[in-house]
Chain A
Amino acid sequence: DQQVKQNSPSLSVQEGRISILNCDYTNSMFDYFLWYKKYPAEGPTFLISISSIKDKNEDGRFTVFLNKSAKHLSLHIVPSQPGDSAVYFCAVGSGNTGKLIFGQGTTLQVKP
């Protein structure tokens, strides 16, 4: 029973356009939401996070949106660059457990 789902295994976008990655979760008790990027042969790298008291957080080209009623999280990358090509994982956490629950990942390819 997956608590965090990324339903799109892959996404292909043209350079300069917007990339939108989506994530759904099942438990309304989660209060931290994060996105990680992973290149081959490297560990996941933290990108951006949002807490449950907000619905948007922006950091440069990256914006995370949280829709608590729909239990939906999305990451927008504008403009997309070829160097953004990687696997993107959403992750959720709650309270002080320190445990992160990850989605299966979405492979983003940004074409020049």
Chain B
Amino acid sequence: ETGVTQSPTHLIKTRGQQVTLRCSSQSGHNTVSWYQQALGQGPQFIFQYYREEENGRGNFPPRFSGLQFPNYSSELNVNALELDDSALYLCASSPPGALKADTQYFGPGTRLTVL
């Protein structure tokens, strides 16, 4: 059984650019959540996708957007990058019937550096 995978592993961008991060959910999982983890902090919820629709959003501006595809993989897009967007971006998937904040299985993350 393949776990949650994310790409790329590391990424360096400059301020003002746009970035797309990708996530493949664990086999059989249909819900994907994205989190931002700044250095020395816990992960912060960005948003969640279920059946290709956004199903809850944290306190992040509209320049953070996402997509979920029919195969349940997902993308996180960030426009007009700012220095404070530098962080580890984590994707987590949940199995069917686990819409509650019960257990989410995390990928290894994408380390984004904005210069």
Contact = CB atoms under 8 A, between A and B. Distances in A.
Contacts, number: 77
B100 A43 contact: no
A46 B45 contact: no
Interface residues of B, number: 29
Given A42-B108, A43-B107, A94-B101, A99 B45 contact: yes
B108 A98 contact: no
Say which size band chain A's interface belongs to.
Answer: 20 to 34
A102 B109 contact: no
Interface string A45-82: 11001000000000000000000000000000000000
B100 A99 contact: no
Interface of A: 4, 6, 32, 34, 36, 41-46, 49, 89, 91-105
